[in-house]
Structures are given as structure tokens and as C-alpha cells.
């Protein structure tokens, strides 16, 4: 899995980037959590291009399982889904609901996502 560590205003986070492998399984989410724990980081930035299509097909259960795992391990997560990549149906509804969460939130651009992710106080 391809990820990098970044720091903004003294707050470090992990960014999961598009690479040769997408987040496809709960084990992939566990690997990202492990990467966070290796550095003592509790914030994660996900890009839509790094998520498999199954993440956006809610019937697979992948999105729910990944989100639950991240919440359980207290990994504050921002997912960037650009306007031109918006999905339809239930996944779109789920992403709309995530715009107001404190533990897992969706954004249309990376700048807003990083600003929320690195904000003090969680």
C-alpha cells in the first residue's frame, strides 16, 4: 500500500495515495491503522482514487467495515471525493451524511480535508 506521512502546523497525518493497490479489504484498513500506530499518528487522509469501487458499493459492506474499524481505533479520517467523482445512490447519501461527522468526514477537495484533519481538538 502506498502512503506517506505529512505534517501541517505541528499535526502529523497519514495520506493513503493512489498506487498499485487500492483499499479493497478490511485487512487493508488494518494495515493503514498499523501505519498510523507505527508513528503514533491518529489522523488519516484517504483519496477516492485510492479506494476500490467496492468501497462505494454499499451492499459489499466494505465502507461500513472500514469506517467502523477506523472509528474503533480512534483514527480521525477525511476522505476526499472530488465533485466530478461523486457517486450515485446510497453511496452518495452516505458521503453527504459524512460531511458532518467528527471522526470520519468527506470533502470535495484536499485543502478542506487537511484543514479539518489537522485542526486542534479533533
User: Does residue 59 register a pLDDT over 90?
Assistant: no
d(CA 47, CA 56): 12
User: Does residue 3 register a pLDDT over 70?
Assistant: yes
Q: Are 36 and 3 in contact (CB under 8 A)?
A: no
Q: Provide the pLDDT for residue 96.
A: 67
Computed over every residue of the chain, the mean pLDDT equals 84
What mean pLDDT is predicted for residues 2-13?
90
Q: Are 25 and 42 in contact (CB under 8 A)?
A: no
Structure-block grid coordinates of residue 28:
487493508
Dump pLDDT digits (tens) for 87-114. Answer: 656 666 766 666 666 888 888 889 999 9
Reference 94, options 65, 56, 121, 120; nearest CA is: 56
Between strands 76-80 and 104-107, the pairing is parallel
pTM for the predicted model, two decimal places:
0.85
Amino acid at each position: 500500500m502506498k502512503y506517506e506521512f505529512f505534517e501541517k502546523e505541528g499535526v502529523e497525518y497519514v495520506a493513503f495515495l493512489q498506487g498499485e493497490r487500492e483499499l479493497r479489504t478490511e485487512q487493508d484498513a488494518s494495515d493503514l491503522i498499523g501505519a498510523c500506530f507505527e508513528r503514533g499518528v491518529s489522523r488519516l487522509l484517504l483519496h477516492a482514487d485510492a479506494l476500490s469501487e467496492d468501497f462505494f458499493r454499499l451492499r459489499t459492506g466494505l465502507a461500513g467495515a472500514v469506517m467502523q474499524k477506523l472509528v474503533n481505533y480512534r483514527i480521525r479520517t477525511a476522505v476526499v471525493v472530488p465533485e466530478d467523482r461523486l457517486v450515485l445512490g446510497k453511496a452518495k447519501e452516505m458521503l453527504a451524511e459524512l460531511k458532518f461527522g467528527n471522526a470520519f468526514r468527506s470533502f470535495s477537495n484536499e485543502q478542506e480535508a487537511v484543514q479539518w484533519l489537522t485542526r486542534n481538538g479533533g
